[in-house]
Structure 1
Amino acid sequence: MTLAETLRRARARLRGAGVETPDLDARILVEHFSGTNRTDAILSPDRTLDQATVDAVETALDRRISGEPTYRILGYREFYGLKLKLSAGTLEPRPDTETLVDKVLPYLREQVKAGERPRILDLGTGTGAIALALLSAVSEASAVGVDVSSDALATAQANAEALGLSDRFEARSSDWFSAITEKFHAIVSNPPYIRTQAVNALSREVRGFDPERALDGGEDGLDAYRTIASQAASHLEHGGCVAVEIGFDQRLDIERLFLRAGYALNEVGVDLGGHQRVLVFSKA
Structure 2
Amino acid sequence: MTDFVGQTVEAARRALAARLKTAAIDSAALDARLLIGHALGLDLTGLIAAAQRQLTPDESTRLEEFARRRLAGEPVARIIGEKEFWGLPLRLSTATLVPRPDTETVVELALELLRAGGDLARPMRIADLGTGTGAILLALLSELPAAEGFGTDISEAALQTAAANAACAGLSERATFIACDYARGLSGSFDLIVSNPPYIRSADIERLSVEVRNHDPLAALDGGADGLDAYRALIPQAAGLLAPGAALVVEAGEGQSGPIQALMTSAGLMPATAPKADLAGIPRAVAGHKMAR
Give TM-score scaled by structure 1 length: 0.94
SS in structure 1 at match of 2:240? helix
- Kindly tell me: are residues 168 and 114 of structure 1, through their superposed partners in 2, closer, same or farther at Cα, counting changes over 3 Å? closer
The one-letter amino acid paired with 2:18 is A
Rounded to whole Å, the distance in 1 between the matches of 2:56 and 2:120 is: 58
Indicate whether 1:85 and 2:87 are aligned: no
The count of aligned residue pairs is: 284
TM-align CA RMSD: 1.8
| Matching residue of 2:187 | 181
Deviation per residue, 1:87-141 (Å, 9 max, x gap)? 0000110001111111111344466639851111100000000000000111101
- Kindly tell me: are residues 207 and 114 of structure 1, through their superposed partners in 2, closer, same or farther at Cα, counting changes over 3 Å? closer
Deviation per residue, 1:156-206 (Å, 9 max, x gap)? 001001111000001100111221222211010000000011111111110
Rounded to whole Å, the distance in 1 between the matches of 2:136 and 2:49 is: 37
Indicate whether 1:60 and 2:60 are aligned: no
- Kindly tell me: are residues 258 and 2 of structure 1, through their superposed partners in 2, closer, same or farther at Cα, counting changes over 3 Å? same
SS in structure 1 at match of 2:83? strand
Residue 151 of structure 1 deviates from its aligned partner by: 0.7
The one-letter amino acid paired with 1:266 is A
Structure 2 residue corresponding to 1:272, chosen from 273, 276, 279: 279
Structure 2 residue corresponding to 1:236, chosen from 236, 242, 265: 242
The one-letter amino acid paired with 2:264 is F
Kept in 2, the 8 Å contact 1:125–1:131? The answer is yes
Q: Which runs of 5+ in 2 are unaligned?
A: 1-6
Kept in 2, the 8 Å contact 1:147–1:173? The answer is yes
| Matching residue of 2:28 | 22
Rounded to whole Å, the distance in 1 between the matches of 2:127 and 2:243 is: 11
SS in structure 1 at match of 2:272? strand
Residue 40 of structure 1 deviates from its aligned partner by: 5.5
Indicate whether 1:71 and 2:87 are aligned: no
Kept in 1, the 8 Å contact 2:121–2:145? The answer is no
| Matching residue of 1:145 | 151
| Matching residue of 1:131 | 137
- Kindly tell me: are residues 6 and 109 of structure 1, through their superposed partners in 2, closer, same or farther at Cα, counting changes over 3 Å? same
Indicate whether 1:161 and 2:167 are aligned: yes
| Matching residue of 2:41 | 35
Kept in 2, the 8 Å contact 1:112–1:140? The answer is no
| Percent pairwise identity | 44
Deviation per residue, 1:229-252 (Å, 9 max, x gap)? 222221111221000000021111
| Matching residue of 1:4 | 10
Rounded to whole Å, the distance in 2 between the matches of 1:111 and 1:173 is: 30
The one-letter amino acid paired with 1:97 is T
Give TM-score scaled by structure 2 length: 0.91
Kept in 1, the 8 Å contact 2:202–2:225? The answer is yes
Rounded to whole Å, the distance in 2 between the matches of 1:110 and 1:86 is: 33
Kept in 2, the 8 Å contact 1:76–1:85? The answer is yes
The one-letter amino acid paired with 1:280 is A
Residue 152 of structure 1 deviates from its aligned partner by: 0.2
Rounded to whole Å, the distance in 1 between the matches of 2:118 and 2:159 is: 28
Deviates more, 1:32-41 or 1:16-25: 32-41
| Matching residue of 2:3 | none
Rounded to whole Å, the distance in 2 between the matches of 1:223 and 1:114 is: 32
Rounded to whole Å, the distance in 2 between the matches of 1:224 and 1:35 is: 40
Please list, as runs of the form range in 1=range in 2, the aligned pairs for 1:96-115 lying within 5 A after superposition. Answer: 96-109=102-115, 113=119
| Matching residue of 1:51 | 57
Kept in 1, the 8 Å contact 2:17–2:28? The answer is yes
The one-letter amino acid paired with 2:224 is G
Please list, as runs of the form range in 1=range in 2, the aligned pairs for 1:202-281 lying within 5 A after superposition. Answer: 202-267=208-273, 268-281=275-288
